């Protein structure tokens, strides 16, 4: 199972939110590069980079941060937040993203998202399934759609999506543990490469997610609040 730390960006700084609420913003580091280098120094190969300004303003904003991290580290970066147009996508890939995550776009403009899968392939385009209750949420989680998680993922699996990042918003940034039951059901009902995201609070949970069959796990606040040490992640990667 891949270990994928998260860096969320507002105004070029490394922040975390609770349940996606922008009012709960806490700045952890003024320099995302410093954070990314620390990850790399502990054997981490992947990074989930989220442009929270982009998610709110519905177009890519913090591509300069992406450019810096991709040119000054060897991390394979998946980038998301506000990617709504072909132009946004081009900017993200030209700025060094290895993969992009599309969430709101997959709900609101399915034909655009499907065209991206066709153009770039399922290795490069990840489906972001953000869930409030059982429904898919969009636009920095400020809106909720009528689609349920299982319908949504099944539909896109039939359109060649391989990778899915699933975030239970009620868990995100709360440090109370991830949505094990939700992931178990999703893996049983729809076989995809599932990347768990949201709520990771302690190291032991990684083994539980691995046992469930998750392909990757995104860890954010647990690292920044020192609940999980980078040394532990290094050990997990090497084991």
Q: Catalytic residues, which ones?
A: 8, 130
Find the largest Cα–Cα distance for the chain.
43
Bridge partners for 129 per DSSP: 166
**Phi, psi for 229 (deg, rounded to 5):** -85, 150
- Report the distance separating Cα 36 and Cα 57, nearest Å: 25
d(CA 30, CA 39): 16
Rounded to whole angstroms, the Cα distance separating 172 from 12 reads: 21
Dihedral sign for Cα 93, 95, 99, 100, please: negative
List of long-range contacts for 7-11, beta carbons under 8 Å, 24+ apart = 7/32, 7/35, 7/36, 7/47, 7/48, 7/49, 7/50, 7/69, 8/50, 8/52, 8/220, 9/49, 9/50, 9/51, 9/52, 9/53, 9/62, 9/65, 9/81, 10/52, 10/53, 11/53
């Amino acid at each position: 199972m891949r270990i994928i730390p998260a860096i969320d960006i507002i105004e070029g700084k490394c922040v975390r939110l609770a349940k996606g609420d922008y009012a709960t913003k806490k700045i952890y580091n003024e320099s995302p590069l410093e954070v990314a280098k620390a990850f790399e120094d502990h054997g981490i190969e992947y990074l989930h980079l989220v442009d929270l300004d982009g998610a709110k303003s519905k177009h890519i904003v913090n591509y300069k941060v992406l450019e810096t991290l991709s040119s000054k580290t060897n991390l394979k970066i998946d980038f998301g937040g506000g990617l709504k147009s072909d132009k946004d996508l081009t900017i993200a890939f030209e700025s060094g993203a290895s993969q992009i995550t599309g969430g709101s776009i997959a709900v609101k403009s399915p034909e655009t998202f499907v065209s991206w899968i066709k153009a770039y392939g399922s290795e490069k385009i990840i489906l972001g399934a953000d869930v409030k209750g059982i429904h898919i949420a969009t636009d920095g989680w400020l809106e909720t759609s009528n689609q349920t998680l299982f319908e949504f993922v099944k539909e896109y699996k039939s359109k060649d999506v391989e990778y899915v990042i699933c975030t239970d918003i009620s868990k995100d940034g709360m440090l109370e543990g991830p949505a094990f039951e939700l992931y178990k059901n999703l893996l049983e009902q729809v076989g995809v490469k599932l990347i768990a995201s949201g709520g990771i609070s302690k190291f032991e949970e990684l083994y539980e997610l691995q046992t469930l069959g998750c392909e990757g796990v995104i860890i954010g606040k647990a690292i920044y609040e020192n609940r999980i040490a980078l040394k532990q992640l290094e050990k997990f990667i090497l084991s």
